[in-house]
C-alpha cells in the first residue's frame, strides 16, 4: 500500500529533488513513468511490479530520486499513525 501511495504521489508532485538532481524534463518523465506503472496495476499486478523493479534500476542508473514524493509519503504515514496509533495488519 505504501509503495502504491508513493507511486501515486510521483504522478503529480512537482518534486524539487528530481529537478535539483536532474532537470524539469526528467521530472515530467518521472511523472509519465509513474502514471504508466499505475496503468499497469501498480503493486497489485505482476506487470506493475515488474515495471516498478525496472523503474528502480533506471532511476538508480540516472541518479533520479523522488525524495519530495517520499517526504510527502512520510508525512502521510505520520498523520495516519497519529490518528490510528498503528497500521492495519493487512497493510504488510
18-36 pLDDT tens trace: 999 999 999 999 999 999 9
How far CA 67 is from CA of 11, 48, 64, 73, 90, in Å, comes to: 13, 21, 9, 10, 26
Does residue 92 surpass a pLDDT of 80? no
pLDDT in tens, 45-87: 999 999 999 999 999 999 999 999 999 999 999 999 999 988 7
| pLDDT at residue 60 in the model | 97
Output the pLDDT for position 90. Answer: 64
- pTM, entire model: 0.88
Q: What is each CA distance from 47 to 10, 31, 52, 57, in whole angstroms? A: 18, 18, 9, 16
Going by pLDDT thresholds of 50, 70 and 90, the confidence category of residue 91 is low
Amino acid at each position: 500500500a505504501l509503495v502504491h501511495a508513493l507511486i501515486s504521489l510521483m504522478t503529480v508532485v512537482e518534486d524539487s529533488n528530481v529537478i535539483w538532481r536532474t532537470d524539469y524534463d526528467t521530472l515530467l518523465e518521472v511523472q509519465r513513468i509513474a502514471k504508466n506503472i499505475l496503468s499497469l496495476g501498480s503493486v497489485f499486478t505482476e506487470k506493475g511490479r515488474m515495471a516498478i523493479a525496472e523503474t528502480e534500476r533506471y532511476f538508480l542508473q540516472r541518479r533520479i530520486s523522488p525524495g519530495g514524493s517520499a517526504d510527502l509519503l512520510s508525512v502521510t504515514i505520520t498523520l495516519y499513525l497519529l490518528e490510528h496509533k498503528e497500521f492495519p495488519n493487512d497493510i504488510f
